[in-house]
Structure 1
Amino acid sequence: MPAKLDLLTPTEAAVVAGVTVRDVHRIIDTRVLPERFYAWKGGRRLRSSGCTYVRFYVHAAGQLTADERALLIERAAAQTRPDTSEWTIQDGFLTYDLTTMAADTEARLSKLERARELVVEDPEILSGTPVIRGTRVPVYDVAASVAAGLAVSDILEGYPSLNEEKVELAVIFADATPQRGRPRRMHEINPSLKVISSKKAAVREAG
């Protein structure tokens, strides 16, 4: 079993927390979280254990001020162990329950870990282009097909070696690890795939 991801890039943290990359950078810049959740060696990093607090800070913006959210995060981080299932914060007469948020970020982290395991880079396969393990299918081509609006069923028809879960994980990998340079156009990816909508195709949650 692969080691659990600990230090995340801002794009990875955004995927795990379910917020925008801009939100993550703002939280890093303003030091919203306790210092132990940050790491600077090798670039700006957030510990995966802080993603629940990132999600709370962003999603509670409509109910609490920035100072109130930061104070609650400080209290929660002081009383919550990484291995605990207890995610409630007591603030006077009020209780904030982050259990659902914690479960959601944990599920997102698990999918990111699986996505990382799914993708390989081998100089002998397409000159090192990131591909889905056991295939010669470029992961960014699959993600681009979803972003272009192709139905998942059409993507699977064009790439019969894949399944719905692999399509979903390909999208997660691409979101967490953006491709550098100009993405390939659809006619360059797979001529058999036809764009039928400009809307992003929905990918069913894999169990």
Structure 2
Amino acid sequence: MTAMEMLRPTEAAVVSGVGLREVHHAIDRGVLPDEFVRQGEGRRVSAIGCPLIAFYYGSAKRLTAEERLSAIRVVGRRIRAESAEPDFARPAQGWVVRDGFLQIDFEPFITGAAERWERYRRALALVSSSPSVLSGTPVIAGTRIPVHDVAASVAAGQPSERIHAAYPGLDDERIALAALYAAANPRQGRPRANPILDGARLVSEERVTRRKAG
């Protein structure tokens, strides 16, 4: 993977650290340089464009839209000038943009996106998919545990002890990475019920007579 790899909007949201709605909004408004975006039915955003999205929304309370877009254009030119395959390393001209009295430092946004990008790559490496294993359902590599089942338990707010009991082979890191992968690659179709409760059976049933208000 390179920093110019084109990501789906759900992936770009994870790497940018913003919501999916914000990613689509950035595409629609032309926030990013054209070469960092692919339009059409299969929208894509380059990984290196993610910190620029993070900056656009992260600095909204301090800078006007015009100031943010102007700074993004400057940084975009610097990234393009580096090489045909830019990465998250500091460009020769740095991440600071100066415009008159205004000085804007992109470094925190670049660093944050780079860390999220690396963590997402670890999440991708954790997951495997094969037609011979659960008909191609994404699973934790080396197991038959569906990634989205683990993530659903996390999203449902299940206590970590209960998740560990349901998936004893997974540690905290792999559980967190599974949730990250699922956020970037949401399951298609109707969501399943809480996976930890799948296969549960009724042990007893007790009916309680409701008292009439007296």
Class of the TM-score when normalised by the shorter of the 2 chains: 0.7 to 0.9
Pick aligned residue for 2:124 from 116, 121, 124:
116
Aligned-partner SS, 1:160: coil
Q: Deviation of residue 93 (structure 1)? A: 2.1
**In the alignment, is the contact (CA less than 8 A) between 2:166 and 2:196 conserved in 1?**
no
Q: Deviation of residue 153 (structure 1)? A: 3.1
Matching residue of 1:38: 37
Q: Deviation of residue 97 (structure 1)? A: 1.2
Matches within 5 A, 1:26-175: 26-40=25-39, 43-80=42-79, 81=82, 82-83=86-87, 84-85=89-90, 86-175=94-183
Kindly name which structure, 1 or 2, has the bigger radius of gyration based on alpha carbons. 2
Q: Deviation of residue 7 (structure 1)? A: 0.5
Q: Deviation of residue 191 (structure 1)? A: 5.6
**In the alignment, is the contact (CA less than 8 A) between 1:141 and 1:189 conserved in 2?**
no
* CA distance, structure 2, for counterparts of residue 15 and residue 38 of structure 1: 16
The residue type paired with residue 74 of structure 1 is: R
**In the alignment, is the contact (CA less than 8 A) between 1:4 and 1:113 conserved in 2?**
no
**Change beyond 3 A, Cα 1:158–1:187:** closer
Matching residue of 1:201: none
Q: Deviation of residue 88 (structure 1)? A: 1.3
Matching residue of 1:10: 9
* CA distance, structure 2, for counterparts of residue 120 and residue 169 of structure 1: 13
Identical-pair percentage: 43
Q: Deviation of residue 96 (structure 1)? A: 1.2
Which runs of no fewer than 5 residues in structure 2 stay unpaired? 201-214
* CA distance, structure 2, for counterparts of residue 187 and residue 132 of structure 1: 15
C-alpha RMSD over aligned residues: 1.9
**In the alignment, is the contact (CA less than 8 A) between 2:17 and 2:113 conserved in 1?**
yes
* CA distance, structure 1, for counterparts of residue 181 and residue 141 of structure 2: 13
Residue 177 of structure 2 corresponds to residue 179 of structure 1: no
Of residues 54-63 and 71-80 in structure 1, the stretch that sits farther from structure 2 once superposed is: 71-80
Which of structure 1's runs of 4+ aligned residues deviate more than 6 A?
none
The residue type paired with residue 111 of structure 2 is: A
Q: Deviation of residue 150 (structure 1)? A: 1.1
Q: Deviation of residue 127 (structure 1)? A: 1.8
Which runs of no fewer than 5 residues in structure 1 stay unpaired? 193-207
* CA distance, structure 1, for counterparts of residue 116 and residue 197 of structure 2: 28
